[in-house]
Amino acid sequence: MKISVPREIKNHEYRVGLVPHSVAELSHQGHQVFVETGAGAGIGFSDDDYSAAGATILATPEETFAAGELIVKVKEPQLAECARLKASQTLFTYLHLAADKPQAEALMRSGATCIAYETVTEAEGGLPLLRPMSEVAGRLSVHVGATYLHKAFGGRGVLLGGVPGVAPAKVVIIGGGVAGVNAAQMAVGLSADVTLFDINAHKLIGIDQMFHGRVKTAFSSRAALAQALREADLVIGAVLIPGAAAPKLVTRAMLKTMQAGAVLVDIAIDQGGCFETSHATTHQDPIFIVDGIVHYCVANMPGAVARTSTLALNNATLPFVAKMARMGVSAALAADPHLMNGLNVAGGQITCQPVAEALGLPFAA
């Protein structure tokens, strides 16, 4: 199969769909890999590295998109990239369509087969291609939250772990999935006072056991969350409904009860965000302030640590890329129901029900 890897063009996005060792594996299996020049340069992978792994280097995005039957990316295609897709091609990348109707409609117009990393499943019930980025985003959320608590950024001027004689910051984490647990690990490691909310009692039991009581757990009722927000220094939104828009769990009214200079980090922003006041930001301009509360809502958060993120993502995506290349996309989808769950757009129609419902578009089973 012919596989293309374009250079990512989203703001400060340095990740790349395939790293050289993945290209070498696919080349060894007899597939042709085309890589746009400079695709991996931002994380230390040169064109020479890709050439040595067996890739053909192409000079422009137009050439790169045109060369491949399977297009492997990281972030959702920008509208200019959607326009380059053809009905005969398959796109394999993060899509997050529930919060992006223009992209969904552009992909429908292309006629291409579009498989979203974030809705591919596994036998154990998890999301194997979302997990590595959720791990990164969860851990990173505490780093950025601690930074934006600095007074110079409009934060409260609070040190996350405190010091002897001074209480640590209060961290509220909403969601006990992969991102939330990883955020809790980092926050506890920095000696913060951590409370994690979820609506799944079994998750809360597991988290309590995992952290041996060092993380307080709470059922996520509206009243309990509102109470915690009043005293919070850092709030991390880590909720996920696979394929669907994130629920708005922190309202504008709740914001007005919070301490001035508190920080919100919205990991769910790719799915529309879980704070009512959230809107997507970029690494270039990452924060904004509403009612005295600092909001960090960068839509490609793991891109801040692009090398770590790319390597982690490739570990998860390469087996699926290899399967599609070996079997053909149609046969691979038919043989693997978990890969089929990743199919979001095909033949000009939305094929993921939560996406269709979120966007008010027809669903094609």
Residues annotated as part of the active site: 96, 270
Of 174, 294, 188, 182, the C-alpha closest to 238 is 174
Could you give the C-alpha distances from 78 to 64, 84, 269, 314, in angstroms and in order? 15, 10, 17, 21
Query: CA torsion 216→222→224→226, rounded to 10°?
Result: 100
| N-to-C CA span, the chain | 27
Supply 216's token pair: 């307080």
Nearest to 267 by CA among 156, 182, 198, 352: 182
- Compute how many other C-beta atoms are within 10 angstroms of the C-beta atom of residue 44: 12
Beta strands in the chain (DSSP E): 2-5, 32-36, 56-58, 70-72, 90-93, 113-116, 170-174, 193-198, 215-219, 234-237, 263-266, 287-290, 293-296, 343-346, 349-350
Cβ pair 78, 9 in contact under 8 A? yes
Give the gyration radius of the chain's Cα atoms: 21
Pairing, β 343-346 against β 113-116: antiparallel
